[in-house]
Amino acid sequence: MRDLPIGIFDSGMGGISVLKEMKKLMPYEDYIYYGDSKNIPYGTKTKEQLQKLCIKIGDYFIDRGVKAIVIACNTATSASVDLFRERYNIPIIGVEPALKPAIEKYNRGKIVVLATDVTLKEEKFAKLMDRYKDEANIVKIPAPKLVTVVENGITSGEEAQRAILETFEGINIKEVSSIVLGCTHYIFLKDAMKKILGDNIELIDGGVGTALHLKNILDEKGWLKELKKEGTIQIINSCDDEKKINLTYTLLRS
Ligand code: DGL
C-alpha cells in the first residue's frame, strides 16, 4: 500500500487548495487529482445526482489503485462520504465547514459560513449547526458566484471583487468576527476577500486540518512513503480540455 498514490477530487478546481496543503505536509507522496469540471456546479445538484457522480470518480480511483481517497469538496462530502466508507475499503477523508475552530477561537460577533446550497441544506451541516448554534451567532450564506469565478481561474481583480461584494450584500461586516470558507473553491479568494473585508476578520478553512488528518491516518497504518524523493501530481479533468488542465496547474502553483 505504501507506494500507491492518493486520490483526491472535487467538482472542479477548488480541491487544488486542499492538495496544496497535502503536498506541503507530505511532499514525497504521489497524487492523482480529479476535477469534475464537466459536472460543475455540484452545489445545485440533488443528493442522488451527486452520489452517482462521486461513485464514478471513486470507482475510477479504485481501478487506478490508490491507498486513500480525499473528497476535497464540502458538497460532495455531505452527499457521499458515508456511501464511500461503505463501498471502499481504504481510508476516506472528507471535508466540512471548519465551524468548530471558528467557535473556539473567535467567539464574538457573527460567524459567517460561506458554502454551497447543498452543503448548507444537507443533514451533515445541520448536525454541525445543532452542536454549535447556541454558542455563537452563525449566519449561513450560499455563494455560487464565487465558485464560478474561481473555476474560470479568476482569484483577484475586478470580477473577483464584484462577486465578493455581491456575496456580502446586506451583511454588516463590522458585526462579523470570522468567515468560514465552507467550499474549497473559496479558499483561492482569501487574499481578495481580505482586501475588501479588512484584516479584522478571520478567514477560516479546513485545508491544513484535512491534510494533517490524512497524514495521521497514513502514519498510523505505516502507509507513508519511505523514499525521500519528491512525489508526482497527475491532474485529470472530466472536461478533457487542455485549457482547464493548464488552469489547474496554474492554481496549483499559485
Ligand atoms: N468545491 C465545492 C465544495 O467544496 C463546491 C463547488 C460546486 O458547487 O461545484 O463544496
Quick one: average pLDDT of 35-52?
97
Q: How crowded is the C-beta side of 81, counted as CA atoms within 13 Å?
A: 22
Domain coordinates in residue numbering, the chain? 6-95+207-253, 99-204
pLDDT at 208: 94
Residue 108 has pLDDT above 70, yes or no: yes
Residue 13 Cβ contacting ligand 1 at under 6 Å: no
What atom of ligand 1 comes closest to residue 41's alpha carbon? 9
Residue 147 Cβ contacting ligand 1 at under 6 Å: yes
Q: Per residue in 164-216, pLDDT tens?
A: 999 999 899 989 999 999 999 999 999 999 999 998 899 999 999 999 999 99
Report residue 186 as a C-alpha cell: 473559496
221: left (phi over 0), alpha (psi -120 to 50) or beta: alpha
Residue 73 Cβ contacting ligand 1 at under 6 Å: yes
The pTM score is 0.95
pLDDT at 107: 64
CA of 42 to the centre of ligand 1 (A): 6
CA of 15 to the centre of ligand 1 (A): 8
What atom of ligand 1 comes closest to residue 75's alpha carbon? 10
Q: Per residue in 135-172, pLDDT tens?
A: 889 999 999 999 999 999 999 999 999 999 999 998 99
218 vs 108, more confident = 218
Residue 116 Cβ contacting ligand 1 at under 6 Å: yes
Residue 17 Cβ contacting ligand 1 at under 6 Å: no
Domain 6-95+207-253, CATH among 3.30.980.10, 3.40.50.1860, 1.20.900.10, 3.40.50.720: 3.40.50.1860
Q: Per residue in 219-237, pLDDT tens?
A: 999 999 988 899 999 999 9
Long-range contacts of 192-199 (CB under 8 A, 24+ apart): 192/155, 192/156, 192/157, 192/160, 192/161, 192/164, 193/164, 195/161, 196/161, 196/164, 196/165, 197/164, 197/168, 197/173, 198/173
CATH fold match for the domains 6-95+207-253 and 99-204: yes
Distance, in Å, from the CA atom of 109 to the CA atom of 173, rounded to the nearest integer, reads: 10
Distance, in Å, from the CA atom of 54 to the CA atom of 84, rounded to the nearest integer, reads: 9
Residue 41: cis peptide before it, omega within 30 degrees of 0: yes
Catalytic residues: 73, 183
Identify the CATH number of the domain defined by range 99-204. Answer: 3.40.50.1860
Region of poorest pLDDT, from 7-21, 96-110, 123-137, 145-159: 96-110
pLDDT at 179: 96
What atom of ligand 1 comes closest to residue 185's alpha carbon? 1
Percent of the chain scoring above 90 in pLDDT: 87
Residue 185 Cβ contacting ligand 1 at under 6 Å: yes
Residue 127 CB burial class (10 angstroms; 0-12, 13-18, ≥19): exposed
What atom of ligand 1 comes closest to residue 147's alpha carbon? 6
